[in-house]
Structure 1
């Protein structure tokens, strides 16, 4: 959430190169799981050998935290006893800037995680990504994840938003994320907007959370994830 420029060329190239892969991945998910798409069971181990990959933007990086141990992804990983692999890159999103989420899937797959948690969407909102572009990028992200990691538990989080009032488009992109992740048998965590109106939970830029704000996000994610275990 720190680079506010648009860069769709790389995503367009990825889209062209992977369109067939995404189509086949979605078809495979659909045909293999009839009569309904089934969510993979939660990992049986919660020990340090369970790897959880976190894909996201500057919130996943931990911008605004006093140190990385206070970012929400690290707090969540510690709570569940996971080994965290962090794939957050500031200023990016499902379609926003480069490297957008679909281009990061090979790196995520390389660590062979049992759980993949994807968050983001704010940068897509502020960088001019259209609803159609966002929807396509979200479907591509989760289809590629499922194709690369057929046994992983794939989780998407409702897009984080700062303390300022959310724009009317937030529910639109949130629904696009929900549809995209559930289409591949993943789960969607609707955590609401834990930071809404909580200016004291934000860092000096009022865009990124401080330690208290990240703790609030972690609590919301932990609670929502636990209901799906």
Structure 2
């Protein structure tokens, strides 16, 4: 019995080993048929299932990078001109303009408005007036002379012996010959910005058209363009037309030839400008 019992136990052991072998073979076969089933890619989840992913964390060796957030697009807004200018401790002035700045129409150039203003202020001053020129109009019948204000400023800046820290730009009368007011506006802005590049920190004031009537009224559109250009550059604008410096009543006594003021007219411009100057520099 002991021998038969031993054989029976051996048989049961071999049978168990056989069953285990069959099970192992089945598992291997399943793995071969579905290689992703054990630790591989999972089956796609239904669309309604939300899968959470862990948030990225900053490593101790590198600072966290803030997540960019959308900001509303900035919109362009009109820049109001400053209330005035910051007058330097030792002003050095450049007055640049057209035939008005040159003193045309006065009995002598030194009776022109620019010379009268320079004498009244008492600062070292250079005066550059060229007839027939403007912010955008270079002079000549076909705008061919290259006397635009920006080009003249560039020429003056090439001489290091004179460095202004205050610039008065006068004009606009001759720019009325251009049919495109936007060109006049752009040229005015560009002239002011160029002056600041040539002389960093220079304080700029723009004096627009200041003609006796009826020419003054005819220049209103150009005056508007020059004013807009000055404001776009953040430069204060002295508006002789809107302020009514010349009226139908006083213009006959101030007019020289219908296009220029006489000596009394130049003195009138100087007086009115100095009033504006006082307000700008107080």
TM-score category, normalised to shorter length: 0.7 to 0.9
Which residue of structure 2 aligns with residue 7 of structure 1?
none
1:105 to 153, 161, 171: 153
Kindly tell me: are residues 166 and 184 of structure 1, through their superposed partners in 2, closer, same or farther at Cα, counting changes over 3 Å? closer
Q: Distance between the aligned counterparts of 1:162 and 1:147, measured in 2?
A: 34
Which residue of structure 1 aligns with residue 253 of structure 2?
200
2:225 to 172, 176, 180: 176
Which residue of structure 1 aligns with residue 262 of structure 2?
210
User: Which runs of no fewer than 5 residues in structure 1 stay unpaired?
Assistant: 1-34
Corresponding residue pairs, total: 188
Kindly tell me: are residues 56 and 165 of structure 1, through their superposed partners in 2, closer, same or farther at Cα, counting changes over 3 Å? closer
* Aligned positions of 1:115-194 closer than 5 A: 115-125=166-176, 127-167=177-217, 170=220, 172-191=221-240, 192-194=243-245
Kindly tell me: are residues 37 and 209 of structure 1, through their superposed partners in 2, closer, same or farther at Cα, counting changes over 3 Å? closer
> Residue by residue, what CA displacement relative to the aligned partner does 1:182-206 show, whole Å, maximum 9, x if unpaired?
4444222223342332112122x22
Indicate the structure whose relative CO is greater, using CA pairs within 8 Å and at least 6 residues apart.
1
Q: Secondary structure at the match of 1:228?
A: helix
Q: Is the 8 A contact 2:93 2:164 kept in 1?
A: yes
Does the alignment pair 1:91 with 2:132? yes
Which residue of structure 2 aligns with residue 56 of structure 1?
97
Q: CA deviation at 1:168?
A: 5.6
Q: CA deviation at 1:135?
A: 1.4
> Residue by residue, what CA displacement relative to the aligned partner does 1:125-158 show, whole Å, maximum 9, x if unpaired?
1x23421221121121111111112211101012
Which residue of structure 2 aligns with residue 71 of structure 1?
112
Q: Distance between the aligned counterparts of 1:168 and 1:36, measured in 2?
A: 26
Q: Is the 8 A contact 1:53 1:108 kept in 2?
A: no
Which residue of structure 1 aligns with residue 88 of structure 2?
43
Q: Distance between the aligned counterparts of 1:168 and 1:210, measured in 2?
A: 19
Q: Distance between the aligned counterparts of 2:276 and 2:227, measured in 1?
A: 14
Determine which structure has more spread, i.e. the larger CA radius of gyration: 2
TM-score after normalising by structure 1: 0.74
Q: Distance between the aligned counterparts of 1:128 and 1:175, measured in 2?
A: 14
